[in-house]
Structures are given as C-alpha cells and as structure tokens.
Amino acid sequence: DTSLTEVNSFSPSVPISPSSMINQYKFEDGPELRDLFITVDDPESHITAIETFITYRVVTKTTRGEFDSSEYEVRRRYQDFLWLKSKLEEAHPTLIIPPLPEKFIMKGMVERFSDEFIETRKKALHKFLNRIADHPTLTFNEDFKVFLTAQAWELSSHKKQGPGLLSRMGQTVRAVASSVRGAVKNRPGMFTEMNNYMETFSQKINLLDKIAHRIYKEERDYVNEMKEFGPIHTLWSASEEDIADSLKGIASCIERCCRATEKRMAGLSEHLLPILHEYVLYSDILMGVLKRRDQIQGELDSKVDALANKKTEKDLFSEEIGKLEDKVERANNALKADWDRWKQNMQWDMRSTFTNVAENNLRYYEE
C-alpha cells in the first residue's frame, strides 16, 4: 500500500517537470534529532603473507553521556562487521538486524577488490552502521559501542570474551531441535499474517531485483552499441560531401543520447539496485526472525505438553513454563514493534526510490 491513490492529479497551473514531481508526494517525517553520527570511508588495502583484505575508517561523533569522548576514529575490516551482526542477532534474536553486503560479489557485476566493488561495499557498510544507530534498541547495544570505539587490539580482546564452544553448541542443538518439531501450534494470528506477508514480499522483491538487473544490462549493451555507432557516422561523413553535415549531426545526436543513457544508468546503479538488493537480504532476515520467534514458542509448547502428560515434577515445570511465557511475550513485543518500524521504513524507501527512478526517466527522455 503506497497510498498513491491519495495523491491529487497534477495541477494544470503547475508545470510538470522532474524537479517538481517529487514534491507531489508526501513522505513521512524525517528522523528525530540524532545524537550519534557515523561515517564509513577511506578504504585501505592490506597485503600479508596469508591474505589480502580491505579496512575502512569508521568515524563516530556523539553527544551521548555513556561515551568517554565525543569523537572516535577506528579502522575495521569486513570480518569485524560480521562479528557485530552476529552479536546483535545473539543479543536480540527477534529484532530485525540490518543486512550486510555479501562477502563475495553477486551476479558477476564487478570483480572483488576492484574500485567499484570497494566503493559499493563502503556505502553498504555505512548504511548498515547508520541503520543500527537509528534503531531505538540496537543503538544502545554494548557490542555496538565497543565496535565504534575500541582500537584493533581492544576489539580482538573483546571478541575472545564471547560464549564458549560448548555454549554455542548447546544453542545450535536447541535451535535444530526446535526447528524439527514442525509447525507451531499456538502461534498468534498476527505472526502467521507476518509470515504470509514476507513470503509474498520475498517473491516480489526478488522479481523486482532480477528485472532491475536485466534493465541495467540491456542499457549497458545499448550504450556500448551507441559508442561504436556514433564514430561510424563521423567517418562516413568524410567520404560523403553532399550529406556530411547530416551525418555529423546524427553522430552528435548519438553522442548526446549516449551521455544521457550513461547518466540514467548511474542513477540505476546508485539508487535503485542497492535498495532493491538490500530488501532482498531483508526478506531473508525477516524470515529468520520469524523462525526464531517460532522456536521460542515451540519450546514453550513442548514444556506445556510435557506438563500435561505429567512426565516430570509439576512444580519444576510450572516455574520453567512461567519463565518461557515471559520470554515468548518479550519476543512477541519486540518483533511487533520492530515489524511496524521496518514496514514503515521499507515503504518510505520504496516510494522515494521509485519516485527517484521516475524523475530520472523524465530527465532522460527530455534530454
């Protein structure tokens, strides 16, 4: 529901131009005053005997009292971002953690460690950290603070303080045991609706992502053909005196069309493709969050069933059930609040992204 039906038709007294088009749409209010600003920039290559990797500078400016300083500058590699994401998922299993770009580039569009790849990843990492900073709960996570402030050796030391192997194995066994129990019997209706919504959303966003990449590829092939086609007319004009001016005019026209198409492609690669792919990743994340909520619910259901069958002491199980009921309620409330917030952000992103595409298309055809 993009609420576009609420938009009045363009007033005939107002000239319809790309620059005025976006003003016809009412977007949500911007975020409240922020007290945490993060920038990811300055990628730097590191070559060792074992591996080659890139680090990025992460600059943080803040007015929060829990920080010892108002400004921090650290360098982080991709593995550090992965560690942060895993810690956030561990601490907040039913919150929607923003996606990271994949470790290896997809669809063969650019090569790893190329300038284009590094620039694309830098922007994605910048967005990842700022989405966390804007989140009402994740922004106060202690591991997030350590990520932003600790020097490399301090971060390495902090990573070693994570849960031990046996603890992680226990979590994995419980997760697998929960996942094989089958459908959750007592899942509230709203979470079934969320699951159905995400299945449909996933299909549509993946289709949009494929279409957008196909359009980009067709535009790229078109530009490559035009780059060959223009000079041919220039060379042709040298041997056809009677129509030389016309041929040069066609060559000039092709060159202008080529520049306009390249500008359009830049808009697609900078604004449309990254947003669509981010929400492809989000769709996988949301399905994972819903599964984790179901696992917590399934654990409660199994305890209730065991109590009903009197397989063990009633008092002991009653206490465990009480704790699990609290855990399920916390998980449900966390996901409900995050779901509404994510859905609002997603709709805003989609509206602004496709309006931007429409603006660029208008400019392109005018040119």
| pLDDT given for residue 185 in this prediction | 74
* Pairwise pLDDT comparison (175 vs 344), residue with the higher score: 344
| pLDDT given for residue 361 in this prediction | 94
Q: DSSP per residue over 214-258, as a string?
A: HHHHHHHHHHHHHHHHHHHHHHHHTT-STTHHHHHHHHHHHHHHH
Matching residue, tokens 């997760």: 175
Q: How confident is the model at residue 365 (pLDDT cuts 50, 70, 90)?
A: very high
Q: Determine the Cα–Cα distance for residues 341 and 344; give it in Å rounded to an integer.
A: 5
| pLDDT given for residue 351 in this prediction | 96
* Pairwise pLDDT comparison (290 vs 164), residue with the higher score: 290
337-363, pLDDT tens digit by residue?
999 999 999 999 999 999 999 999 999
Over residues 210-223, the mean pLDDT reads: 95
Domains of the chain with bracketed CATH: 33-150 (3.30.1520.10), 192-366 (1.20.1270.60)
Over residues 165-169, the mean pLDDT reads: 44
Report the alpha-carbon angle 198-202-204, nearest 5.
Answer: 120
**Average pLDDT across the chain, whole number:** 83
Q: How confident is the model at residue 13 (pLDDT cuts 50, 70, 90)?
A: very low
38-73, pLDDT tens digit by residue?
999 999 888 887 878 899 999 999 999 999 999 999
The amino acid at residue 34 is R
Q: Determine the Cα–Cα distance for residues 354 and 101; give it in Å rounded to an integer.
A: 22
Of the candidates 360, 357, 365, which has an alpha carbon nearest to the alpha carbon of residue 274?
357
| Cβ–Cβ < 8 Å for 78, 121 | yes
Whole-structure pTM value: 0.78
